[in-house]
Amino acid sequence: MNIYIIVFIQVAEQILSLLVIVHVILSFFMSPYHLIRQTVDRLVEPLLAPIRHILPQTGVFDFSPLVLLILIQLIAGILISVLR
């Protein structure tokens, strides 16, 4: 039973990580009014907003996606190690 939960966590980690990466790439190349970008933004922005409140402003660069990727990997790793 634990193996299914571990696989689910790994798949969720990969999907969330991919969504964050796609969010960053689309923010450079696609209009904020495009349907695909709006959909990805609706999924990722609620995860990024609390991080943006904690991180200091760094001008043009936004490090919150990097912090989110690290947190996703860290949480998934902890959950998997607890289940094993």
The pLDDT tens digits of the residues spanning 22-77 come to 999 999 998 889 999 999 999 999 999 999 999 888 778 889 999 999 999 999 99
Which sequence spans correspond to the domains of the chain?
2-83
Report the distance separating Cα 66 and Cα 54, nearest Å: 14
Residue of 63, 75, 68 whose CA lies nearest to 17: 68
Q: Does the structure show a pLDDT above 90 at 12? A: yes
Within 10 angstroms of residue 19's Cβ, the number of other Cβ atoms is: 17
Are 21 and 63 a contacting pair, CB within 8 Å? no
Give the global pTM: 0.88
- Given this model, what pLDDT does residue 14 score? 97
Residue at 50: amino acid letter = P
